[in-house]
Amino acid sequence: MDRSGSFASLVKKISATLKGVENRDGKLKAVCGLLKDNVPYYNWVGFYVVDEKRPNELVLGPFEGEHTEHTRIPFGRGICGQAAQLERTFLVQDISKEKNYLSCSTNVKSEIVVPIFKNKKVIGELDIDSHVLSPFTEQDEAFLKKVSEMVSRII
Ligand code: SME
């Protein structure tokens, strides 16, 4: 399935949402909503931000979806912590095969975590959980990298 058309239209909506710099969290939350509401297999969408006081820890920022107990994640732990430590996207098509994983909900089958960079340093990440097995394609990865670049300007 070609997802490029719907992703291109979402990029336009996200760009409009991010205009200006005020109310950072409101904008991030709106981006979560746009992603979750428009892509059927994006079932939990959230941002983690690197803690300024503890630079080896991620703190949960705005999100859409079920409540999660993982509000703080040290670098190296879980998919999120590994993505932050290794400074690369983690795409897990089947989380039952991943040992270093922090479970949020038994409904989750797969996950993608894309780091957000500023001046070549990780300042946060975009985390998406799916209730579908193996839903993510290269188009999702490219799209979510683009979204991460866009939000990096306001974080
Ligand atoms: N599953 C993540 C934890 C965060 S939740 O998905 C919201 C992980 O393994 O890092």
Could you report the per-residue pLDDT of 100-146, keeping only the tens digit for each? 999 989 999 999 999 999 999 999 999 999 999 999 999 999 999 99
State the pTM of this model. 0.96
The pocket around ligand 1, CB under 6 angstroms, is made up of 44, 46, 68, 70, 73, 78-81, 101-102, 104, 111, 127, 129
Q: What residue owns the CA closest to ligand 1's atom 2? A: 102
> CA triplet 51, 55, 61: central angle to 5 degrees?
25
